[in-house]
Chains A and B, each alone.
Chain A
């Protein structure tokens, strides 16, 4: 069984461009979480999605950021008009359930660099 797959592994964008980060959860997992890790900081929750629904986006900036988890295909985290402060590692995790005692599987992350 493949784990959580994230791509690209590294992404370089100029200021003002769009960044699209993809996450394919573990097969059978319908709960997807996105986290951001800024340099020298801990992981911060961004958004929680189930298939076709955003359940909690309280950790995601209201402007320029959006996320989706369509019925078919990977979950996408989209950042429009990127700025230098968006440079970070973005991790995706999936789980079969949102229960706190449900295992979480993380991907290898996408390292976004904005020049």
Chain B
């Protein structure tokens, strides 16, 4: 059974800080998804990555397949980055078997 663990559970940062959110999974995967959910809002897919690193604006996602670990970095954080960040992995290589982490609640103070 695939388990997806995220840390820390809650995170508070000051505007401008560099933020790192971690995700560990127990079963080898084909790709890992990072999702963002604003309070009461929908879910936005930020990244899907299977190796190395991806960058989009101030967001950077990295993955280490051997260590079964991924990180999401936010540079120059802003209050609008305040949201829940969820990682999810499909252990059997099928999206229908996605296992989700519980999510990290990030609050960025101005």
Contact = CB atoms under 8 A, between A and B. Distances in A.
A105 B45 contact: yes
Contact of B96 (A33, A103, A105): A33
Contacts of B35: 106
What interface size band does chain A fall in? Answer: 20 to 34
Interface string A48-86: 100000011000000000000000000000000000000
Contacts, number: 73
A104 B33 contact: yes
B94 interface: yes
Given A48-B96, A99-B30, A106-B42, 6 more contacts: A33-B96, A45-B97, A98-B95, A98-B96, A100-B94, A108-B41
Interface of B: 29-31, 33, 35, 40-45, 48, 50, 86, 88, 90, 92-98, 100-103
**Which 9 residue pairs across A and B have the least CB separation, nearest first?**
A108-B42, A100-B90, A100-B30, A106-B43, A48-B96, A101-B31, A100-B93, A42-B102, A43-B100
